[in-house]
Structure formats: C-alpha cells, structure tokens
C-alpha cells in the first residue's frame, strides 16, 4: 500500500487571489503525485489545509482536490476551523464534535486524529478525543494501524516551533496508545520540515509543507531579541510517500520539482542492476 502525503498547504495566505503562490505550489505537488508510477493508493492531507479557516479557501481546496485519481483523507491543523471545514466537507466523519474517523479498506487501518484547539498554535488532545482513540484501538488489535494527525507530539529542536514534552496533551496521547503494538506508525505535519523520529515505540514521520518551509536552525531563540536569523524559506513543495511493505512502514520524502538527471537505466547501467539483484536470496 502506498500513501502519499501533503501538509501545511495554507491556502488563502494571499486572500482573494485565486492564483496565489500557495495554490500554485499545491498544484505542483498534486501534479507530481498524479504522474507517479506506481500511483498512490490514497492521499493524506495532514492539516493547516487553509491559512485563516475561511470558507472561500476551503472551497478552493475542494477544487484543487476535485479531479484526483485517488481518494483524499484530511485532518485539521491549528490554522483550520472546524465549522467552515465541516460546511465545505460534510462527508468527512466526526466524533464528539471533533474531526476524528477511521478508514479501513486496505491492508492498513488509518485512524485520523483531531489535534486542533482553536486559538492555540500548538496541539491538543482532550479526554473526549482520547476516549475515541482508546475505543478504536481496543478493536481490531490484529490489524496494522497508522495514526494520522497534524501536530507531532515530540520535541523537534526547532526552538520556535517546538512541542514541549510537558504539555498535557502529549502525555494524554502517549497514555492512550501505550501498549498497542498494532500501531505501526504516526504521520504528521505542522513543522514545515522533513523529520523522522519515534513516539511511544512507534515510528513518527513529519512531512515538510507544500507551502514555504521553516528554515533549519537548532539554536535557542530569545523572544526579546530578534537576531535576524532565517525563519521561512521557499524550497520546492514537499511531498511524502509512505509505503507499507506488509511488515513495516517505509517513508520517503520528495520534492515536487524537475530534478537534474545524471543517469538513466540503459544498457550501461544494466550490469550494475543485474549484479545487485543477483546478490539477493532467491
């Protein structure tokens, strides 16, 4: 099973502009995914779908996703708002007022979590959401499961974007998934950078954004001293491909751009391919 991911789209950052920069970057990423071979089985859009939570931006998001050759599954980030999202996408399931739902029509069971607390930049995961997840994890314990959410519950080292591990929602989520070995991975966004780590014994993949990205900087930051450091960079739009090989999740990070090609598979490289494959067990 091959799952594509886009995240932190931020449509509407340039309001009232149907040709805005972030829409062009999203279209570039979607074009790359549609032209892939093999084509993804589904697309995960992991939050900050729009920039201001406004209805017009959700309408444009629906337009961007309308003709894709694979299903799109969405979760919410801190720039989203539930009411306008649900008005535009009424078929996306909810539970207890939160956009949390299950997709189970392939070799992986996908559980989408809502870590949005409106008015807060960081994540949240209250008892209502935790009970929904606990109830789902108590079912189908032999089915490999992925958790899809916007906010990564880990400290990243990017000081101004960090999740503090002491935040209550982090321990709530950790306690809820602890001991559930069917959870084979977590897929998140929010940080606008590609990062691989782990959480409670399972892999955690953070995909960079289709919108401009956060600059790499592990220095502490002083809120009282603007020091001129880089904050946002316009590297090419990011996508991720998460491949389930039947035993484990393998995540690849890619950019939607024309790559400079240095070699192709022709008769000159055929001996190398033959030699590499010959080393493998029959």
pLDDT in tens, 194-235: 999 999 999 999 999 999 999 999 999 999 999 999 999 999
CA gap 9, 220 in Å, rounded: 27
Look up the pTM and report it: 0.96
CA gap 275, 106 in Å, rounded: 35
pLDDT in tens, 237-277: 999 999 999 999 999 999 999 999 999 999 999 999 999 99
For residue 189, give its domain range.
2-278
Cis ω before 166 (30° cut-off from 0): no
E-assigned strand segments in 21-112: 42-46, 72-75, 101-103, 109-112
Instruction: Give me the number of domains the chain comprises.
Output: 1
The two tokens of residue 7 are: 């995240």
CATH number of the domain encompassing residue 86: 3.60.21.10
Contact 206, 191 (CB under 8 A): yes
CA gap 84, 105 in Å, rounded: 28
The two tokens of residue 256 are: 């939607």
Q: pLDDT band at 282, cuts 50/70/90? A: confident
């Amino acid at each position: 099973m091959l799952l594509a991911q886009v995240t932190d789209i931020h449509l509407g950052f340039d309001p009232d502009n149907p040709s805005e920069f972030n829409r062009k970057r999203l279209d570039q990423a979607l074009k790359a995914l549609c032209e892939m071979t093999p084509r993804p089985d589904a697309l995960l859009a992991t939050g900050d779908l729009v920039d201001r939570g406004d209805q017009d931006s959700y309408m444009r998001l629906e337009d961007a996703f309308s003709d894709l050759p694979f299903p799109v599954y969405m979760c919410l980030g801190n720039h989203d708002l539930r009411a306008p999202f649900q008005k535009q996408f009424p078929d996306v399931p909810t539970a207890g007022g939160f956009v949390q739902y299950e997709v189970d029509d392939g070799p992986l069971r996908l559980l989408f979590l809502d870590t949005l607390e409106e008015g807060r930049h960081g994540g949240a995961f209250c008892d209502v959401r935790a009970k929904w997840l606990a109830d789902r994890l108590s079912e189908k314990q032999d089915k490999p499961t992925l958790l899809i959410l916007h906010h990564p519950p880990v400290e990243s080292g990017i000081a101004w974007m960090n999740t503090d591990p002491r935040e209550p929602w982090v321990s709530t989520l950790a306690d809820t998934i602890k001991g559930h070995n069917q959870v084979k991975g977590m897929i998140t966004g929010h940080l606008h950078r590609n990062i691989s780590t782990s959480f409670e014994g399972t892999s955690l993949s953070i995909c960079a954004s289709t919108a401009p990205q956060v600059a790499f900087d592990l220095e502490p930051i002083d809120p009282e001293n603007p020091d001129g450091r880089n904050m946002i960079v316009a590297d090419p739009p990011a996508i991720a491909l998460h491949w389930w090989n039947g035993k484990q999740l393998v995540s690849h990070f890619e950019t939607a751009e024309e790559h400079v090609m240095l070699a192709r598979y022709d008769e000159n490289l055929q001996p190398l391919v033959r030699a590499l494959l010959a080393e493998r067990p029959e």
